[in-house]
Amino acid sequence: MSMQRAGRLPCAAQSGIASNMTVQSGKPGFPGTHFQVAGHDLHVVHKPQDRLKAVLQLIAMAQKSIHMFFYMFCADKTGREVRDALVAAATRGVHVQLIIDSFGSTQVSNRFFDTLLDAGGNYHSFSTRKGLGYLIRNHQKMLIIDGAHALVGGFNIADSYFGRAGDDSWEDLGIIVSGPEARRLSDYFEDMAQASNGGNVSFRQIRNIIRQWRPGIGQVQWLLGGPTNHISPWALTFKRSLDAGKRFDIVSAYFSPSQTILRRLAKTARRNKGSRLVMAGKTDNGATIAAARVLYRYLMRRKARIFEYQPRPLHMKLMVIDDTVYIGSANLDIRSMFINLEIMVRIKDAGLALHMRTLVEGLVSQSEEQTRVLLKRRDTIWSRFKSGLAYFLVNSVDYTIGRRIKFSLIRNK
């Protein structure tokens, strides 16, 4: 892949155990909680300091290759630390390839990655902000080391994703997958790097990569999303899990799903009154909260319990259906289901599912449950109008426009 010196890039302003599984804390050397599932070591990294430590540790341990693909990479303290770690790896002879999304990354100087290029690393931005490039965004977050370890999650490379922005820091989640499936994700990265080389994205190549991807049939699977003519493959698999599922626990930063997913959530909630949805009570984009609230009454009538997380902005993407866990970059919204490039890891394991439900329980304890009384208090003609506008912006236009509009209805009182 050719090297490219970037011009000024855009970066959004911030933000019961199964028999084949064991769980320990911090083994073998990574932060977080450790599981073994189907020949893979898994480390769930939830705390902000664990997420940053995981990124830096993985880069430091690389001996052959580093493949890094992120939506947002900012020129702040965290961005400099990660960049310098990549430079050190390239200097010691590791093959370093970094791709960031041109739409998601802003405030990055045209010389920010020069030291990486000078050290022999490779870097380019994914697509441009013009033409078709505006529509196709790499929303994936992945770091792959030596084809043996892969970190995916919801967080980007910016201070606000690692607890360095005070109360404005994002609540987020990641997971390290070490084992044979990491090699397949490394091959996928190489294909995507070729399809976006020099920032000239080939829509046909990307569509073919997504269509031809096979997640496999094991307990650990990589699910992809991208601009195809139908619902993304990851969302199709998720829909099928809902069809067969008895209970869900879902944490979704942005929630405005397709009608087919919404109906299945409702049906599953009716089957089990314990099904829970944790939504954002705080965010950087008021339109997304307003759009989600349009759907609350429909789901609550069908026995779903809905909570809005209060301590800090929510950015997590976590879905647990029975014994199956989904973790990655995709929200339950139209853009993530049909347009954005997304990466989700699907893991079927009862012990991991139990652990993640405990994590959800912790979020619920810090959330405000949405009730009919609360909905009625907020329900005015003006609030309905603004909610409808927000839903239109998020699903039919572009959710980023919502950042420019003040949606005061996100206040609960």
pLDDT tens string 349-372: 999 999 999 999 999 999 999 999
Distance CA 279, CA 250 (A): 9
How confident is the model at residue 381, as a pLDDT? 74
CB-based contact 360:27 (threshold 8 Å): no
Helix axes 286-293 and 381-392, enclosed angle (nearest 10): 110
CB-based contact 99:69 (threshold 8 Å): yes
**Three-class SS of residue 347?**
strand
Tell me what the mean pLDDT of segment 53-71 comes to: 97
How confident is the model at residue 368, as a pLDDT? 97
Which helix (H) or strand (E) segment holds residue 144: the answer is: strand 141-145
How confident is the model at residue 131, as a pLDDT? 57
Report pLDDT digits (tens) over 308-356: 999 999 999 999 999 999 999 999 998 899 888 999 999 999 999 999 9
Cα dihedral 322/327/23/357 (nearest 10): -40
Distance CA 10, CA 274 (A): 42
pLDDT(298) > 90: yes
Q: Is the domain covering 220-410 a CATH 3.30.460.80 domain? A: no
Where, residue-wise, is CATH 3.30.870.10 in the chain? Answer: 9-201, 220-410
276-280/248-252 β-pairing: parallel
Distance CA 157, CA 121 (A): 18
Distance CA 83, CA 86 (A): 5
Would you give the distance in Å from CA 102 to the centre of its chain?
17
Tell me what the mean pLDDT of segment 104-110 comes to: 75
- Architecture of the structural domain at 9-201: 2-Layer Sandwich (3.30)
For residue 398, what are its two tokens? 């572009």
The CA-based angle 406-410-413, given to 5 degrees, is 125
For residue 119, what are its two tokens? 């050290």
Phi, psi of 257 (to 5 degrees): -75, 170
Tell me what the mean pLDDT of segment 243-252 comes to: 96
Which residue in the block uniquely carries the two structure tokens 């626990």?
Answer: 249
How confident is the model at residue 205, as a pLDDT? 87
pTM of the predicted model over 0.95? no
